[in-house]
Amino acid sequence: MIKLKNLVKTYKMGSTTVKALDGINLEVADGTFITIMGRSGSGKTTLLNMIGCLDRPDNGTIIIDGADITKLPRRQLSKIRREKIGFIFQQHNLIDTLTALENVMLPLRYVRVPKKKAKALALKLLIQVGLQSRINHLPKQLSGGEQQRVAIARALVNKPVAILGDEPTGSIDTETAQAIVALMRKLSKKNNQTFIVVTHDPIIAAASDLVVKMIDGKLYQEDSNINILGKEDKLII
Ligand code: ADP
Ligand code: MG
- Residue range(s) defining the domain that contains residue 60: 2-235
Residue type, 138: L
Query: Count of alpha carbons within 13 Å of 124, Cβ hemisphere only?
Result: 11
Write the DSSP symbol of residue 124. Answer: H
For ligand 1, atom 16, which residue shows the shortest CA distance? 41
| Total number of domains in the chain | 1
Quote the CA–CA distance of 53 and 73 in Å, as a whole number: 11
Q: Is the CB of 13 under 6 A from ligand 1?
A: yes
Instruction: Quote the pTM value.
Output: 0.90
Quote the CA–CA distance of 37 and 44 in Å, as a whole number: 8
Q: What is the pLDDT along the chain (237 residues), one digit of tens a residue?
A: 899 999 999 999 899 999 999 999 999 999 999 999 999 999 999 999 999 999 999 999 999 989 999 989 999 999 999 999 999 988 878 999 999 999 999 999 988 999 999 999 999 999 999 999 999 999 999 999 999 999 999 999 999 999 999 999 888 888 888 888 888 999 999 999 999 999 888 888 888 999 999 999 999 986 544 444 445 567 877
Beta-bridge mates of residue 59: 8
Quote the CA–CA distance of 129 and 210 in Å, as a whole number: 23
- Please identify every residue whose CB atom is under 5 Å from ligand 2, which is an ion: 44-45
Question: Which atom number of ligand 1 is nearest to the Cα of residue 49?
Answer: 6
Assign residue 165 the CATH number of its domain. Answer: 3.40.50.300
CA of 120 to the centre of ligand 2 (A): 34
